[in-house]
Amino acid sequence: MRLIESLKKKKFVLFNIFFTLYIGINLIGGERGLISYFDKKSIHKDLVKKEKNLKIKLEELEHKISLVKNNDIDYLDMLYREKFRYGTKEEIIIKLR
């Protein structure tokens, strides 16, 4: 009985303790906590790297498309020889990739 009576008298203190624990736990481990923040930060860095790589690939493809549109003879000849594996009897073809 003494325990129940003392708990009734100290409701405010107990409420503050539990409320502080609740806030602390959610601050560290909740959906919007510190752990989640660092996870999202690393995901963001990875996405930024992927975006840079995709931009570089896009620029390369745009350059190749412009060469085809402008009928660049050297580039078209290179594509023709690479795709169809075409060459004359006197040529030696060395693929570098």
Here the tokens at position 21 are 């624990």
pLDDT in tens, 5-26: 877 788 888 888 999 999 888 8
User: Which tokens hold the place of 84?
Assistant: 């169809």
| pLDDT tens per residue, range 64-75 | 889 888 888 888
Look up tokens 């100290």; give the residue: 10
Cβ contact 80:74 at 8 Å = no
Confidence of residue 50 (pLDDT cuts 50, 70, 90): very high
Residues 51, 52, 58, CA angle at the centre, nearest 5°? 85
